[in-house]
Structure 1
Amino acid sequence: MSVDIDPSIAEYVRRWATTRSDAPCMSCDNVTLTWSELHDRASRLAHGLAETGVGPQDRVVFLDKNNLEFFEITVGSAMAGAVTAAVNWRLAPREMLQIINHSTAKVLFLGEEFVEQYEQFCDEMTTVEKVVVIGKAPGLESYEDWLERHVAKDPLVPVRSDETAMQMYTSGTTGLPKGVLFSNRAVLATEGMAEVLRVDETSTLLISMPVFHSAGASLGMLGIRTGAHSVIARDAAPATLLSLIARWRITMTTLVPAVLKMLIESPEINQHDFSSLDTIAYAASPISPELLRRCLEIFDARFLQIYGLTETQSATNLLPEDHLDPEHPDRILSVGRAIPGVTLRVVDPATGDDVDDDVVGEVWIKAPTNMHGYWRNEEATRDALTDDGFVRTGDGASMRDGYLYLRDRLKDMIVSGAENVYPIEIENILIEHPAINDIAVIGVPSNRWGETVKAMVVLNTGATLTEDEVIAYARANLAAYKCPTSVEFLDELPRNPSGKILKRVLRLPYWNDVERHIG
């Protein structure tokens, strides 16, 4: 089991299976795997893949909610030199099919909960030769039976550090999902977050974000890399997460602010002991000062913000001390500084030249965790990657004293008259209104100004608020040109599984018949 054999995540499972064989590796529901059990099950899976004709760099695809099997499949695929992809289980069957066919996977690992969706597209799959059901379904081989048919002997297939290990699909907030390619080297580079997250082999992690999303999968890879015990939440309901934190004495987890808000508002919040929590990382969107204050009152833990894209994984962090720095209170509005090993640039997107501090430009990121391209999409790869290894993020931001201040996606910026308006600035003000539960700001067509600001508001249960009151609150706190000229009240905002608001969906009714040249 030499480190030279396999520069992939499989090598760490081999290592822990040798040095800590009976220690808990992963738990989900009422099942716990030790490191030696994960190694043996992944070895069986690797042989099963080989028998099915899956060779090095061939794809396998996973369609299910969070579970132990995803990580067995990922490690077993690494042992076989194959590439793991995962499908967003919230998609419609037609969308699932699109990703499965695009992935060119030979094997589909299918959760029994999604057999009905599978039956709607199974005849149209173009490359899948074998379907294995996690659970049971008529006419399909079960995962446990399939594993049992194969030997628990590590095949030790040689791989290279620059070969693809994972294929992660984007959330599709701007169009069709793209298959983001990560090398073995990039997957292992997630260890760069271990020190700041205070994760090591004594840690117990809670994986609550979907494993088809980079935050969920990356935390699992970090657990394997460091030898931590990972607890997998199949159900991300607030009551479930609170119970798991207390039951397993969770020390670290990653959440989105929207889920944090649901947790602290849950009726079960006072029924559990959270004293084990050391670090809570949050991602996908900034946290409002009021939500942070309430979280700090309830959880005696370090709060740390992470910023990155699917294409880059973690790129910056706002450290716990930055959240509570009385001399620099504005830093809570930033996403922090570059993680060691990461290079950030803020550039004029038209020229690629660096802009001055406090000037908004496009964020470019070079990180050891960066993708090396998009699967079967050379044009998008050329658009996203520079010749010297930076990912063009499409995010608008400015830099000050090394801290990155996001404004918005460049395409989400509203150009009203001659002024650039950044929705996030307005959202951060409006969310402080005691009657507002959730908020999104978009640009809508205006004959006079080209675009004008519209607020999409979700109220707290039982709260009342009028359009005029929302606009008046904005005018009391913002320059006039930034204030909404109209307000729409919704029951909820559309979000993708990572918690990001789907502004494309919100804008569509207003811009569907208009050719948008700005923003």
Structure 2
Amino acid sequence: MRVSDFFDRGWRLAPAATAFVMDDRRFSYAEAGELSCRIAQTLLDHGFDRGSKVAVLSPNDPLAMICVLGLWRAGCTWVPLNAANPAADTINLISRFDCELVLFHSSQRPLIEELLAADTSVRKAVCFDEDLTAWLEDRPATDPEPPHLPEDVVAIMPTGGTTGPSKGAMITHRSISVAFAHMLMAFHYPEGDPIVNLAAAPLTHTAGFLSMPTLARGGTVVLLAKPAPDVLADAIEQHRVTELFLPPTVIYRLLELPGLAERDLSSLRYLLYGAAPMSTAKLRRALEVFGPVLMGGYGQVEAFASISYLRPEEHFVDGRIGPDERLSSVGRPFPLIKVRIFDEKGHECGPGEAGEICVQGDLVMAGYYRNEEATASTIVDGWLRTGDVGHLDHEGFLHITDRKKDVIISGGFNVYPAEVEKVLLSHSAVQDCAVVGAPHPDWGEAVTAVVELVPGSTVDGDELIALCRAELGPVRSPKKIDFLDTLPRSPAGKVLRRKIRAPYWTGMKQKI
């Protein structure tokens, strides 16, 4: 399978049906498909073919996704760029990933001018919402179907850089096809039922790829510029949305939307959450508000978005919302991969024993672009070492304790930030939080929490520390609570722990 074959299946099923909607713009499958074919023909005529790196720089826009379909048809490699990233970071990625062409939205023109003045490999930049028609000329709307191999790289995905400089994970036709197969297994629809995917998160991240299984079924993808809570609720009602992906932070904000209980959200069948840990307390509330539609997901760019999933019905036990032990899991592994837990010596751990989560199968990336050292340390003996610490329980549910690099060593004891954050997030006044290690002369690192409050709520640090001590004891509890109006996050919504940690380590050798 080529990646574009998934879209083409929907095109054959319903050529006149609506593939993409954004505001007052609509593209049928035939319109989107034919335009993507013309883009592919143009790319090939200009010498951008198998393996050429093509970046797309745009906010959420249907034309951006159609451009991606076009470059896939030509055999090119997509480099996703998030328009919310700083200009310097974007130019750095374009340079490091050897991009030859940039297809961009007119809102990004100042950055493109800066890019073209820099010393990079970019040969051309085309503004797709202003200059695309002229660039395409009268090229035919037929799929060129150049030769391809399953191992050809279809995307170089930036790893996000939440713990350091972003690497480029090489995703192949084979690996992304496995991810799409997993998603098609997870989202069940009776024959003939409407399927409407709401792409509210950036298309350059999980939302873009999650839209492809929808398109393979002939469904409709509705795009939003930003996931503001009121806009989300409006879109679900207006378009009768059946599925969407949101990071936990956005779900927390949606739960605080005034009048949410009066909204008609009954069309929702799947509200997928992931990309960061979710508070079990807030997950319980979400299940009460939205009903049995929540689906947890765990994945990485390196094993794209589909290592395990917690099905909607698995959030419940004997007809009631399940205990924290179930809700804190990320579900069972998907069928087309192997998941094992290995200790520091490489021995497989038994049920309940913590170690590093490792993944094997066709889902795993081909490696990091031009970074053999990082590839060799990440894929060992055929196993992707995720860097996540966790365990499998006796029922086969996977639990993530924390990132290996985030473990705090305080007085010789390992403290996992996620377990402290879980307790903090159980307080009704806490919107989000991050726990880091700050330098301490006696303990090495002191457990320190940085908290973002629910708008209009108040709580003091002593109360939160007391809550943690009651649940976790003195060793794992924060020694200090700091408050921020807004936690620093990546464009994908992940809390940037390194930015939170950095001020505490200024002038010292920082733990990275």
Match status 1:249 vs 2:243: no
Partner of 1:143: 132
Partner of 1:203: 195
Partner of 1:139: none
Match status 1:315 vs 2:310: no
Structure 1 Cα separation of the partners of residues 476 and 181 of structure 2: 41
Residue 29 of structure 1, aligned match among 17, 20, 23:
23
Assess if the C-alpha contact under 8 Å between 1:42 and 1:72 holds in 2: yes
2:472 is paired with a residue whose SS is: coil
Q: CA offsets per residue over residues 472-502 of structure 1, 9 Å max, x none? A: 2222222111111111111111111222211
Residue 399 of structure 1, aligned match among 388, 392, 417:
392
Partner of 2:116: 122
Identity %: 32
Residue 227 of structure 2, aligned match among 221, 236, 252:
236
Partner of 1:216: 207
Assess if the C-alpha contact under 8 Å between 1:206 and 1:230 holds in 2: yes
Say if 1:38 and 1:461 are closer, same or farther in 2 by CA, change over 3 A: closer
Structure 2 Cα separation of the partners of residues 339 and 304 of structure 1: 13
2:37 is paired with a residue whose SS is: helix
Structure 2 Cα separation of the partners of residues 104 and 461 of structure 1: 43
Q: CA offsets per residue over residues 128-161 of structure 1, 9 Å max, x none? A: 112111334xxxxx12332354321221212111
Assess if the C-alpha contact under 8 Å between 2:9 and 2:218 holds in 1: no
Residue 375 of structure 1, aligned match among 369, 374, 398:
369
Structure 2 Cα separation of the partners of residues 302 and 418 of structure 1: 42
Say if 1:451 and 1:384 are closer, same or farther in 2 by CA, change over 3 A: same
1:143 maps to a residue whose letter is L
Match status 1:43 vs 2:37: yes
Partner of 1:306: 297
Stretches of structure 1 lacking an aligned partner (at least 5 in a row):
1-6, 137-141
* More deviation, 11-20/365-374: 11-20
Partner of 1:104: 98
Structure 2 Cα separation of the partners of residues 73 and 81 of structure 1: 13
RMSD of aligned residue pairs (Cα, Å)? 2.0
Residue 327 of structure 2, aligned match among 318, 332, 336:
332
Q: CA offsets per residue over residues 342-382 of structure 1, 9 Å max, x none? A: 2111112x322112332221111124322111111111111
Assess if the C-alpha contact under 8 Å between 1:28 and 1:68 holds in 2: yes
Deviation, structure 1 residue 125: 4.5
Stretches of structure 2 lacking an aligned partner (at least 5 in a row):
none
2:430 maps to a residue whose letter is I
Deviation, structure 1 residue 42: 0.6
Partner of 1:386: 380
> Given the two structures, how large is their TM-score scaled by the length of structure 1?
0.92
* More deviation, 298-307/36-45: 298-307
Matches within 5 A, 1:60-139: 60-136=54-130
Partner of 2:509: 515
1:75 is paired with a residue whose SS is: helix
Say if 1:462 and 1:34 are closer, same or farther in 2 by CA, change over 3 A: closer
Partner of 2:498: 504
2:333 maps to a residue whose letter is A
> Given the two structures, how large is their TM-score scaled by the length of structure 2?
0.94
Say if 1:449 and 1:125 are closer, same or farther in 2 by CA, change over 3 A: same
Partner of 1:3: none
Structure 2 Cα separation of the partners of residues 398 and 133 of structure 1: 48
Assess if the C-alpha contact under 8 Å between 2:7 and 2:212 holds in 1: no
Assess if the C-alpha contact under 8 Å between 1:168 and 1:310 holds in 2: yes
Deviation >4 Å, runs of 4+: none
Q: CA offsets per residue over residues 209-257 of structure 1, 9 Å max, x none? A: 21221x1122022223333221122222222221211111111111111
Residue 450 of structure 1, aligned match among 444, 462, 468:
444
Structure 2 Cα separation of the partners of residues 305 and 149 of structure 1: 46
Q: CA offsets per residue over residues 95-143 of structure 1, 9 Å max, x none? A: 111111122222101111111222223211422112111334xxxxx12
Structure 1 Cα separation of the partners of residues 184 and 10 of structure 2: 17
* More deviation, 438-447/359-368: 359-368
2:283 maps to a residue whose letter is L
Q: CA offsets per residue over residues 422-459 of structure 1, 9 Å max, x none? A: 11111111112222222111111111111111111122
2:30 maps to a residue whose letter is S
1:341 maps to a residue whose letter is L
Structure 2 Cα separation of the partners of residues 225 and 95 of structure 1: 33
Partner of 1:413: 407
Structure 1 Cα separation of the partners of residues 381 and 108 of structure 2: 41
Partner of 1:495: 489
Structure 1 Cα separation of the partners of residues 278 and 316 of structure 2: 13
Matches within 5 A, 1:225-304: 225-267=216-258, 269-270=260-261, 272-304=263-295
1:27 is paired with a residue whose SS is: strand
Partner of 2:159: 170
Match status 1:52 vs 2:46: yes
Deviation, structure 1 residue 300: 3.4
2:100 is paired with a residue whose SS is: strand
